[in-house]
């Protein structure tokens, strides 16, 4: 005979049911939250060898400038997958923030390997990595990077390497010999804010000064003249020739995505073109095969709390993730607005704007294991600029901030570090994949090896 304990103790049954219900509800609530599952930090004062930098910029956060025989490994504004699992290629922007203070800052891409702190362990630190293999390196050096250069004089305007003194001003220091001899590109030549690898393994950089698209091979060597956006010019455009700019400074290609086939780019402005409705940003389609704009364009509407976008990456041929933000931080007053939206260019609303759905609120991430060690179970990401997003799989995103070195005020009044996040999504997204892109990556590695042998 089987004894039914609960038949004789209905109170116990009710207690068990209640406990199971509460547990299921808690599990469901966590499943509906975007959750921090990995965190790492790179200190603000992380440097690589190179020409003296920061001669025209101001220090902050107790970090004096210039940096003698050093370049800042900072200002990450775009990310690609690296050559090995767990390694990534990050692209800093123009250096110290403006065309007028970054002539001695080289345009580079660095390979990094985060050792994410997770529920299972991890140090939460960042290592330099081999640009070729992804293997960890003891420091950022020539093996960890590529540097953009125009040795074949493809660009249609003078760059810093063409001058004897920085900014062609005899009162300024001499342009570093390595910049002149290698015709290396600097933050006074372009403000690169985005990068994508096409189906052929070439790199396309999105610039804000033109705004321009800059095509380079896998080693960073420029392959053709810069490509302007028809009908749009920023104040720093070298071809303005006294004309009137219709795009605010630093308003160019902050975001740029490439479709899974690797044959179409989608550029996204950071600011509105004159004449467009306030808060409206343009998306333009560009053909890799013809190396020209197709004429297809779309309109993105900023949230009422947003002032700019930070990045754009493709999920498929018509859906993308966009980072949107305002300028508020944890220390500067105001309410930080830092969100990721999923958009669809195949769907537009009655006003003609592409559809957008909130995907992640970066100011409200579940952190049940307190991975960043701040004593809280809700993680916030209050930095001014957050400019790198990479889809790791359908459930996971990689996010990193641009720390605007040596800028301060994200979390405290010291110079901001670069933080790297792995976020588990409450709502999965399509995972981009393309054999063409994989083959392009193999071509990129081969070109890098060939150039290294010639150097």
Structure tokens, 278: 């306030």
What's the half-sphere exposure (Cβ side, CA atoms, 13 Å) at 419?
23
Asked whether residue 184 is assigned to any structural domain, the reply reads: yes
**E strand or H helix that includes residue 450:** helix 435-454
Ordered per-residue pLDDT tens for the chain, 455 residues = 333 333 334 454 444 444 444 344 334 434 479 999 999 999 999 999 999 999 999 998 889 999 999 999 999 999 999 999 999 999 999 999 999 999 999 999 999 999 999 999 999 999 999 999 999 999 999 999 999 999 999 999 999 999 999 999 999 999 999 999 999 999 999 999 999 999 999 999 999 999 999 999 999 999 999 999 999 999 999 999 989 999 999 899 999 999 999 999 999 999 999 999 999 999 999 999 999 999 999 999 999 999 999 999 999 999 999 999 999 999 988 999 999 999 999 999 999 999 999 999 999 999 999 999 999 999 999 999 999 999 999 999 999 999 999 999 999 999 999 999 999 999 999 988 654 444 444 555 555 555 554 44
**What Cα–Cα distance (Å) separates residue 187 from each residue in 246, 285, 385?**
22, 26, 18
28 in a structural domain: no
Asked whether residue 79 is domain-assigned, the answer is: yes
Q: Which residue has the tokens 């504004």?
A: 77
State the total domains in the chain.
Answer: 1
* Residue 202 belongs to some domain of the structure: yes
Instruction: Say if strands 145-147 and 192-197 run parallel, antiparallel, or are unpaired.
Output: unpaired
Structural domain containing residue 361: 34-454
Closest listed residue to residue 148, CA positions, set 159, 135, 136: 159
Q: What's the whole-model pTM score?
A: 0.89
* Dihedral of alpha carbons 379, 382, 388, 389, sign: positive
Say how far apart CA 30 and CA 12 lie, in whole Å: 27
Residue (of 378, 314, 302) closest to 346 by Cα position? 314
Nearest to 75 by CA among 33, 36, 105: 105
CATH number of the domain that residue 373 is part of: 2.120.10
Quote the tokens at residue 20: 């199971």
- Whether 19 is covered by a domain: the verdict is no
Sequence-separated (6 or more) residues with CB below 8 Å from residue 160: 103, 166, 167, 175, 179, 186, 188, 189
């Amino acid at each position: 005979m089987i004894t039914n304990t609960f038949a004789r103790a209905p109170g116990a049954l009710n207690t068990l049911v209640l406990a199971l219900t509460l547990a299921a509800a808690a599990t469901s609530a966590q499943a509906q939250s975007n959750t921090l599952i990995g965190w790492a930090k790179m200190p603000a004062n992380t440097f690589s060898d190179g020409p003296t930098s920061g001669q025209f910029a101001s220090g902050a956060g107790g970090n004096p400038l210039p940096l003698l025989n050093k370049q800042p490994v900072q200002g990450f504004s775009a990310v690609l997958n690296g050559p090995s699992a767990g390694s990534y290629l990050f692209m800093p922007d123009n250096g110290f923030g403006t065309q007028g203070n970054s002539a001695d800052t080289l345009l580079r891409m660095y390979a990094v390997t985060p050792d994410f702190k997770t529920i299972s362990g991890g140090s939460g630190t960042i290592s330099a990595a081999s640009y070729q293999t992804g293997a960890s390196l003891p420091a950022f050096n020539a093996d960890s990077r590529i540097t953009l250069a125009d040795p074949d004089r493809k660009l249609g305007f003078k760059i810093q390497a063409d001058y004897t003194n920085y900014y062609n001003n005899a009162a300024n220091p001499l342009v570093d010999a390595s910049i002149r001899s290698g015709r290396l590109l600097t933050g006074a030549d372009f403000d690169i804010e985005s990068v994508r690898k096409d189906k052929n393994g070439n790199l396309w950089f999105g610039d804000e000064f033109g705004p321009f698209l800059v095509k380079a091979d896998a080693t960073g060597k420029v392959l053709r003249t810069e490509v302007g956006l028809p009908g749009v010019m920023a104040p720093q455009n070298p071809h303005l020739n006294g004309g009137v700019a219709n795009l605010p400074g630093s308003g160019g290609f902050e975001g740029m995505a490439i479709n899974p086939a690797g044959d179409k780019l989608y550029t996204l402005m950071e600011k509105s073109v004159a004449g467009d409705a306030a808060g409206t940003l343009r998306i333009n389609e560009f053909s890799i095969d013809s190396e020209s704009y197709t004429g297809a364009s779309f309109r993105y509407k900023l949230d009422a709390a947003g002032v700019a976008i930070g990045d754009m990456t493709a999920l498929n041929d018509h859906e993308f993730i966009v980072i949107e933000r305002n300028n508020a931080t944890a220390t500067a007053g105001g309410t930080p607005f830092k969100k990721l939206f999923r958009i669809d260019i195949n769907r537009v609303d009655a006003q003609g704007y592409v559809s957008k759905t909130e995907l992640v609120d970066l100011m409200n991430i579940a952190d049940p294991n307190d991975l960043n060690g701040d004593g809280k179970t809700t993680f916030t990401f209050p930095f001014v600029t957050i400019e790198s997003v990479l889809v790791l799989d359908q459930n996971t995103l990689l996010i990193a901030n641009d720390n605007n070195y040596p800028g301060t005020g994200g979390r405290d009044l010291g110079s901001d570090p670069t933080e790297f996040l792995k976020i588990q999504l409450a709502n999965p997204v399509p995972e981009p994949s393309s054999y063409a892109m994989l083959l392009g990556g193999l071509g990129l590695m081969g070109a890098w090896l060939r150039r290294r042998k010639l150097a």
